[in-house]
Amino acid sequence: MARIRLGMVGGGNDAFIGGVHRIASRIDDRFELVAGALSSTPEKARASAAALGIAPDRAYGSFEEMAAAEAARPDGIEAVSIVTPNHVHYPAAKAFLERGIHVICDKPLTATSEDAEALERAVAASSALFILTHNYTGYPMVRQARAMVSEGALGTIRIVQAEYPQDWLTESLETEGVKQAEWRTDPARSGAGGAVGDIGTHAYNLACFVTGLKGTELAADLQSFGAGRRLDDNAHVMLRFSGGARGMLWCSQVAPGNENGLRLRVYGDKGGLEWAQEDPNYLWFSPHGEPRRQIRRMGAGADMAANAVSRIPSGHPEGYLEGFANIYTAAAEAIRAVQDGASRGDAIGLLPGISAGMEGMAFIRACVTSSARNAAWVAL
């Protein structure tokens, strides 16, 4: 299969997530990065493009320029990765979707509900795929967990415990010139949610992905512990799911000793599952009344749902980049399928798309609304 011609919006030299997307796109060799609007600063955009081996005539100063020029080329990009701060997601995605260029977009979906709704319309109006990088769903043992729940290994789900603690905003780095901290705590660029938007959405998405349940309502108590901080940096959320399951979700950016402590625990009337992102090659399964079992990626007990997205044998750890690459590789297959005539719905399969994005926006909005009402229940 020929590599897919890929462009990138954002992700200039000193950005974190742009580099992650590029590595993820290369691991299985399904993409070739050929164009970029890598920075809103023209010189930086050019320098970053050069460093990445992008031809000078395809190093653009803006996403609008790139969308127009690439759409006009016979060898123009087939897909674009959008790795900017949240407030740019919508206008950039729209520009490419309108031209039939497939979009792979970082999460959360957008900075505002208005943008989210407009983006939803833009996706509906386009023939192109829209893929949201809820990358944790790409981990093999997350796939294993989802398959096991779906097959009934846990029975009826009763309890969902999700958490995502970090510590990087324990001090108010946004006042000390740290760029990541600045935009992540700026409502204009991040939207109404701080921790709930940046990491809470990941935890919520993971809970829904694994259990197959939908959240129906939530009650949230949000805090901003950092001095002068304008967005939440810690959130406590109670959840109610379709079918009667209940849950809790904790996300925090101010919990010292935690780096990316995303963790999911799910319990049904027949068994329990536990998974932690920092130790991702293992899934703990406790059939009720039997010893706990450690299911290992590509090891005994792992099934096709996990093995199909694994590359190397058990005992050789795969990590974050490989999980992220699984999103990209599935995106490549979906793009080729659509190009070959498949419907978007058939092609996208397990990939997170616009509906996962809208669910994430609803989660953020409900958290902020509930907290403003002293943690009253708000429908999702």
Judged by CB under 8 A, the chain residues 47 through 106 that form the site for its own copies are 52-53
Q: Which ranges of 104-200 does DSSP label H, i.e. alpha helix?
A: 113-125, 140-150, 179-184, 187-190, 195
Q: Which is nearer to its own copies, 101 or 378 (CB)?
A: 378
Q: Pick from 287, 336, 337, 369 the residue near its own copies by CB under 8 A.
A: 287
Q: Which is nearer to its own copies, 61 or 287 (CB)?
A: 287
Instruction: Give backbone dihedrals phi and psi of 98, rounded to 5 degrees, phi first.
Output: -60, -25
Q: How far apart are CA 306 and CA 280, in angstroms?
A: 12
**Nearer Cβ to its own copies (142/295):** 295
Q: What residues between 124 and 183 interact with its own copies by CB under 8 A?
A: 154, 158-159, 161, 166-167, 170-171
Distance of closest approach, residue 75 Cβ to its own copies, in angstroms: 17
| Cα 175–chain centre separation | 27
Query: Scanning residues 216 to 255, which ones bind its own copies (CB under 8 A)?
Result: 219, 221, 223, 225, 234, 236, 238, 240, 246-248, 250, 252, 254-255
Instruction: Find tokens 């068994």 and name the residue.
Output: 271
Contact 71, 101 (CB under 8 A): yes
**Could you tell me the smallest distance in angstroms from the CB atom of residue 360 to its own copies?**
20
Residue appearing with tokens 């939530």: 218
Count residues near its own copies (CB under 8 A).
86
- Residue 314 makes contact with its own copies by CB under 8 A: yes
Part in contact with its own copies (CB under 8 A); list of ranges 90-98, 215-223, 347-355, 358-366: 215-223
Which residues from 339-378 bind its own copies, rule CB under 8 A?
A: 374-375, 377
Work out whether 194 is an interface residue with its own copies (CB under 8 A): no
The least distance separating its own copies from the CB of residue 130, rounded to whole angstroms, comes to 25
Determine, following the binding rule CB under 8 A, whether residue 107 of this chain makes contact with its own copies: no
Q: Does 336 bind its own copies (CB under 8 A)?
A: no
307 binds its own copies (CB under 8 A): no
User: Does an H or E element contain 34, and which?
Assistant: strand 31-37
Shortest distance in whole angstroms from residue 172 CB to its own copies = 10
| Distance (Å) of CA 110 to CA 94, 113, 168, 323 | 12, 7, 23, 23
Cis peptide before 108 (omega within 30 of 0): yes
Cα–Cα dist 257/238, whole Å = 24
Indicate whether 271 belongs to the interface with its own copies (CB under 8 A).
yes
Q: What CA–CA distance (Å, rounded) separates 154 from 152? A: 5
Q: Which whole-number Å values give the CA distances from 311 to 206, 314, 334, 372, in the listed order?
A: 22, 10, 19, 46
Write the CB contacts of 255 (distance below 8 Å, at least 6 apart in sequence).
165, 166, 167, 170, 234, 261
Complex with its own copies: residue 140 or 197, whichever CB lies closer = 140
Which of residues 112 and 310 has its CB atom nearest to its own copies in the complex? 310
